[in-house]
Structure 1
């Protein structure tokens, strides 16, 4: 492909992209395919001779698109969103075109300095205290792994990096029973061992119980173990429960335990002054993460990771082979030493575009509307005779179930709600997900898509009620 053809096909793709954004809500959110349907259409071997772009793009539309779940549809209301927006997509196009590898200042000075400034913008926008300094990671899972590795090196005075784990010591990590499953994976990767992860009980609102946390820490100390890190969650994946950061932070300070706060989804709401109660006590945290690629309209991947001790982070990850040394090393930040990968994409560019295109006020307006949608639907479910809430609704994630007043058997209710969710998914009209809270099959609806409007929420609630009624009629 030469530049002339590239220009022609690029214009065609942009036209298709613009059409897609206009038409995405008309697609079935969930594709009507079975496992193996897509791969059955694909050749077993790569082509020996070049194929035209026209053929490739036709195959994309005919073979790939029918198997896509449309996350950017305003009818996608499952999991947490992975939102995008026009400015973010345009920035991604520039990032792909530049193809910069941004591992150090020298490899792209603008990428490093823009990331430094944008992360400072973001810190101020969500009211993190001044000592925090930020870096963009790929995901919250990776950010949390970085935090646990920092905690590991802090408690061992960097001996694990040098010599491995000591044979005569065991290090423990704490999180609630509602914490995201990635914490367990991170604990395994960091070498702590799954059996040394303590799942702390939660209260009636599914938030970590601070008294139970302190008891677990004291028990481990009495048994000669080394409490190393606590992961508190602001907005759990299951129900957006809010762990009490202040109480947990005071316990961590008392026992000198590293505190990481995971606000992967809910952290975007900190743009709103009225929602900053969620982060009360954040000054006790050693690290904090939230994902603009979830609810802040920035393409995946873009995880904002903040630490109070920049030197600890860098010393945990720094490497300095001769081929990476540059004359500017003592004057600049080399972000390759701020996380796990050596290579880094120019992710700051899309965050810069989004923050400038919306402005803080524009971002706040959209987040407020989404929270309003959630609170309005919460009230409708609360007052309906045959539906019930199963968890508090601090933001815009509603956990509920269908509960006809003549059915009390929990097993039957679980089966009924599983059937309800399955029929909703199969309709292709909206996409919801589920969890289990106290053993109850719980349907989750998340109202945070970039282009969500009231009409989409109303249509979703209408479909939920209609489908539920058909199950018992």
Structure 2
């Protein structure tokens, strides 16, 4: 006997919704999720900054056999919140000082929820004209806040790694293959990007930083002249607006002069530090940013957005599309010749609308609140430095406060001692810091870019770090 089809042969009959829920159940569960998230917002100052579980125990709770039959969604949500989301770093915690925090705002979360709930897409004009305009809008808003030229175009990606890779691809497309110049303080993902883009070791120059851990214009100029003398073609200089180690900003104005002289593409990695340019003091530190050909920024860091969100700005109109545009026959009905098709601005074709959360938060809080939040982060690092210098018998400041980062060492301590102190602090749940190495000396590092962090938070963190082992 032939098996009956799962649906009626009547083409007008609505098939059963085996992957859905009733409207009443969707509302109930949706309200529960909102309550859980808001509850977590209210208690995040008191929760442990980092919680790491045992792999076997977590697998026992979260894994198991494939669920062939439906399970209770309430129990799954509770398990997700308590176990899966409870065992991770909380980058939005006011005392998360390690690496680069991610202090997400609630208005941005609302925008992200809306985008997910409406299954938003931003790939072609025909497939998402409204979301394309939202992305256009936030690109122009943020470019204006940074002081970039009015003709700046951009694209939103998952984060700094892919945003930088996108900028590199555009540089090669516009200038042609050649030598890329970086320094030893450049983020570790960027040489990897260059290699995966196809450059070999002979085409990647990693220059020594100067005594302030910045790119030295004289060293850069000499390296470029040497390569030209060898018959090599300089392609791109990768400068940094806020290094991960110390927050140092390269001398962008002097580097821009060198690039202009030799017609070299200037790319600025400002994944964490570029937002400083929206403040008066930060704009002075990052003077020359507006002369870059491409700039990268991660709004999920110092622009208070939930993960993930990176931005690649290009100040040469049309360069993004010239690099990535493709027009196969099966996309002709959704692509518009005179409108933006964001699937032609990076390697991502199918792409969700990441811009909604940034649009929502800028409208809800206003650009001035962003400026105040960034300025607060800069001031907090300066406050941390003040507290450190007030205890010279205990601490030695190794790099002064720069764009929300300060590095320091305990007098007489070695790398093992610093690591133990950092681990003890993290295990306490109160705060977490990073360790690093500067000019061969180990250091402790604070990144203070959360607007909710207080001077008292910093004081207590330093007290716990200094306590006897």
TM-score by length of 1: 0.90
Q: How many angstroms apart in 2 are the aligned matches of 1:453 and 1:141?
A: 31
Query: Match of 2:94?
Result: 74
Q: CA RMSD of the aligned region, Å?
A: 1.8
Give the 3-state SS of the residue equivalent to 2:414 in structure 1.
Answer: helix
1:74-473 paired onto structure 2 within 5 Å: 74-156=94-176, 171-326=178-333, 329-384=336-391, 385-403=393-411, 407=412, 413-466=414-467, 470-471=468-469
Q: Which runs of 5+ in 2 are unaligned?
A: 1-20
Offset from partner CA, 1:216-242 (integer Å, 9 cap, x none): 112222222221111000100111111
Give the 3-state SS of the residue equivalent to 1:343 in structure 2.
Answer: coil
Q: How many residues align?
A: 448
**Contact preservation (8 Å) 2:102, 2:300:** yes
Q: How many angstroms apart in 2 are the aligned matches of 1:416 and 1:362?
A: 40
Q: How many angstroms apart in 1 are the aligned matches of 2:380 and 2:24?
A: 47
**Contact preservation (8 Å) 2:376, 2:451:** no
**Contact preservation (8 Å) 1:250, 1:284:** no
The alpha carbon displacement at 1:48 in A equals 1.1
Offset from partner CA, 1:35-62 (integer Å, 9 cap, x none): 4442243334311111110221232244
**Contact preservation (8 Å) 1:187, 1:194:** no
Q: How many angstroms apart in 2 are the aligned matches of 1:79 and 1:281?
A: 26
Give the 3-state SS of the residue equivalent to 2:250 in structure 1.
Answer: coil
Query: Match of 1:25?
Result: 45
**Contact preservation (8 Å) 1:287, 1:307:** yes
Give the 3-state SS of the residue equivalent to 1:67 in structure 2.
Answer: coil
In terms of mean alpha carbon deviation, does 202-211 or 24-33 score higher? 24-33
Offset from partner CA, 1:87-116 (integer Å, 9 cap, x none): 011111101111022101111111111211
The alpha carbon displacement at 1:327 in A equals 7.0
Q: How many angstroms apart in 2 are the aligned matches of 1:44 and 1:16?
A: 25
In terms of mean alpha carbon deviation, does 449-458 or 69-78 score higher? 449-458
Give the 3-state SS of the residue equivalent to 2:206 in structure 1.
Answer: strand
The alpha carbon displacement at 1:283 in A equals 4.2
Higher helix content, 1 or 2? 1
**Contact preservation (8 Å) 2:387, 2:459:** no
Give the 3-state SS of the residue equivalent to 2:400 in structure 1.
Answer: coil
TM-score by length of 2: 0.91
**Contact preservation (8 Å) 2:178, 2:234:** yes
**Contact preservation (8 Å) 1:85, 1:450:** no
**Contact preservation (8 Å) 2:102, 2:302:** yes
In terms of mean alpha carbon deviation, does 380-389 or 33-42 score higher? 33-42
Q: How many angstroms apart in 1 are the aligned matches of 2:276 and 2:116?
A: 30
Q: How many angstroms apart in 1 are the aligned matches of 2:286 and 2:216?
A: 16
**Contact preservation (8 Å) 2:151, 2:317:** no
The alpha carbon displacement at 1:426 in A equals 1.9
Q: How many angstroms apart in 1 are the aligned matches of 2:25 and 2:394?
A: 59
Q: 1:450 to 1:36 in 2, by over 3 A?
A: farther
Q: How many angstroms apart in 2 are the aligned matches of 1:386 and 1:134?
A: 47
**Contact preservation (8 Å) 1:135, 1:305:** yes
The alpha carbon displacement at 1:146 in A equals 1.4
Q: Which runs of 5+ in 1 are unaligned?
A: 157-169
The alpha carbon displacement at 1:307 in A equals 0.8
Q: How many angstroms apart in 1 are the aligned matches of 2:277 and 2:63?
A: 48
Q: 1:15 to 1:213 in 2, by over 3 A?
A: same
The alpha carbon displacement at 1:32 in A equals 4.6
Query: Match of 1:167?
Result: none
Q: How many angstroms apart in 2 are the aligned matches of 1:333 and 1:447?
A: 37
Q: How many angstroms apart in 2 are the aligned matches of 1:266 and 1:62?
A: 33
